[in-house]
Structure formats: structure tokens, C-alpha cells
Amino acid sequence: MTNASRSCVAVAIVSLPSCENVAATNPIRLACLPLASVCKRPNAAVAQRRQGAGAANLLHFIERSLQSSFADEQAHWETGAPSMEQLASDTAKAHQPLVFLGGTCNGSTWRSRIIPLLTCDYFDPVVSEWNEAARARELDAREHADIVLYALTPLMDGCYSVAEAVDDSNKRPASTVMVLLAAPDGGKEFTPHQLRALRQTGELVKRNGAAYFESLEEAVDFIAQRTAQCQEERES
């Protein structure tokens, strides 16, 4: 860099204090003031001669940048921000007790029958594509739910939901509900041996202090009572 170019750079920098003169009439330009205080130089005589053009150009650039940023932010809030009604709905929902709808998947429709009967929020783990993200959401919902419900139907093709029900009946019995739906589901039926084993498992869950039912209606009544207690405890 030549001496002449160094002089030009110095003059442009020290001319920044002139921002203080125009900031009073334009609030956006107040953003210039920190830059002005940091960039002052001792050669005030040179700065005084050159301050007009350099400061005006810099101010114009900063002002346009800030106005563009403010416009973008305003547009975001006007087009993408939730309405007051949506915010109120989300807030109310966030304070509702949560029921985890575990149990038989495999095309069973028991969730579509129980969801309209619930008076609280719920988590349905059934998704169109099962992956690690869906698994993480399910584990988080099960851990933080106020009630964990495990409904078992003849469409169950594994025993993991049974293990979950027994596990939760030990760890948090007051929040665990097991429901055995013995009626045929999707053209499948329990064998007598399966039905006997699952009923014995239900009795084991009850002995652990959890709830066991053989109809969705009984489970819904229990959930309504339990979630009402949860709501009262949160508000007290």
C-alpha cells in the first residue's frame, strides 16, 4: 500500500465522527455511533477537511442495510408469524397432560377409536416412515408423558409392548395403563393360550400398582380422572 492510499484510508476512517451530527434526526443512523467512537483518529485537521463525502457514503450504506434488514424482519412477522388465536391454542395445549398411546400398531385402528374420547393431549407413535428421528421422538414422549397407555390387540406381532407395560408398571405404576382388547382385530384373533397369558400379565401389572382394563371406555374414564389430578397438581 502506498503512502497516498494509506492517507485516503486514514481520512475515510477518521471522518466517521460526522455520524454524530446526523444521528439526532434519523434513529437508524444511531447504529453508526459505536463505529464513530471506535474509529476516531488524532489527526482532526485532516478529518475535518475530508469528513463530508466519506461519512455521507458510509452513512448511506449503513442506513440502506439497516432498512433492508428491518423490512425483511417486518415481512417475516407479517406473513409467517402465528396469529394470537394460534398462540393461545398452542399455549393451552402445552399445559395439558399428555397421554402416550403405546401398544399394538400393525394397522390396528384402536387409536382412531380412543383419540376422540380423550380430553387431554396425546402422542401417537405411529408414523408413515420409521427412522431414528421417529424413534427418538417416541422415547422422549414416553419418558415425559403423564400417562403411558399400552393397548394390546390380536394384531400385535411382537411382545415389546408387553415388556414396556410391565417395565412402566414397575417404574411409575400410578401413570401406567394396560388395556387388553380381546375382540378380533383386522381379521385376527388371540389364541386361548395367548389370551390367558396376557390376562395373567394384566394381573401382574395391577399387582405392581398400575391400572389394567379390558375396554377402551374403562381406560378413558381412568385417564380422565388421572389427568384431572395432574392438572390440579400443576395449578396448585
What tens digit of pLDDT does each residue of 115-156 get?
A: 999 999 999 999 989 899 999 999 999 999 999 999 999 999
89 is written with which cell numbers?
Answer: 391454542
Residue 96, pLDDT score: 83
User: What percent of the chain stands above pLDDT 70?
Assistant: 60
Q: Which residues contact 95 (CB under 8 A, 6 or more apart)?
A: 234
What is the tens place of the pLDDT at every residue in 44-100?
A: 444 455 555 555 565 565 566 556 544 554 544 444 555 545 544 554 455 689 999
Residue 141, pLDDT score: 95
Q: 86-235 has which CATH code?
A: 3.40.50.11530
Residue 210, pLDDT score: 98
Residue 13, pLDDT score: 38
Residue 136, pLDDT score: 95
214 is written with which cell numbers?
Answer: 379390558
What's the mean per-residue pLDDT of the chain?
76
- Is the confidence at residue 30, as pLDDT, over 60? no
Comparing CA positions, the residue from 2, 5, 56 lying closest to residue 29 is 56
Q: Which residues contact 206 (CB under 8 A, 6 or more apart)?
A: 212
What is the tens place of the pLDDT at every residue in 57-73?
A: 655 655 665 565 445 54
- Is the overall model pTM greater than 0.75, yes or no? no
- Is the confidence at residue 35, as pLDDT, over 70? no
For residues 222 and 177, the answer to whether their CB atoms sit within 8 Å is yes
Residues pairing with 179 in the sheet = 151, 213
pLDDT band per the 50, 70, 90 thresholds, residue 174: very high
Domain with CATH 3.40.50.11530 in the chain: 86-235
Nearest-10 Cα torsion for 211, 216, 218, 224: 80
At 73, phi and psi to the nearest 5?
-65, -40
What is the rounded radius of gyration, in angstroms, for the C-alpha atoms of the chain? 33
Comparing CA positions, the residue from 99, 24, 91 lying closest to residue 59 is 24
